[in-house]
Amino acid sequence: MQTEVLFKIRYRKSRAQAWDEYWYAWRKEPWARFRLIGTPAAIGSLLGLLPYFFYGDVYVAIGSALFGAAVVPIAVPFVWSRIAETMEHHLVLHGDGISERIGETTTNKPWHSIRDVVEDESFVVVNAVGDDLTIPIAAFDSPHQHAQFVEIIQSHITSGKA
């Protein structure tokens, strides 16, 4: 059950913002690099091994695995930018925490799971246990609205509610 609404914002990410988010995650930490490139590469490699099971040719399987390992990590940002561009984001700060709805998926982050809020040149990043929220600064109607958003989160962090 949600308590009173403290702040509400609704936005869509542009393709450029989706790319900026991907680049921010890349720069943020080495583990993110592994997740962003290593996981798709591993999936591409495994998919590339499928011809071995159908044709029994080791060389075809190795070539396909290498091709999959190279192509999938390159394709992921393109696909993600297309997907992120079309989804509408609804973000609500309320007494119990932060709720985010993207398309049909809703996630709730209680205040105690919020670690901090960081501002980049293009984003406000809410670092939370499990997953971060990345909100483009362009999503805010004004600098005042942006400052209010950050202030509400910081007040919950410093008051011990987060």
| The pTM of the whole model exceeds 0.75 | no
Q: Three-class SS string for the chain?
A: CCCCEEEEEEEECCHHHHHHHHHHHHHHCHHHHHHHHHHHHHHHHHHHCHHHHHHCCHHHHHHHHHHHHHHHHHHHHHHHHHHHHHCEEEEEEECCEEEEEECCEEEEEEHHHEEEEEECCCEEEEEECCCCEEEEHHHCCCHHHHHHHHHHHHHHHHCCCC
What is the pLDDT averaged over residues 58-76?
Answer: 71
- At residue 14 the predicted structure's pLDDT band, cuts being 50, 70 and 90, is confident
What is 5-12+88-158's CATH topology? PH-domain like (2.30.29)
- Average pLDDT over the chain, rounded to whole? 78
Predicted confidence (pLDDT) at residue 152 exceeds the cutoff of 60: yes
Predicted confidence (pLDDT) at residue 77 exceeds the cutoff of 70: no
Residue 34, pLDDT score: 56
Domain residue extents for the chain: 5-12+88-158, 17-84
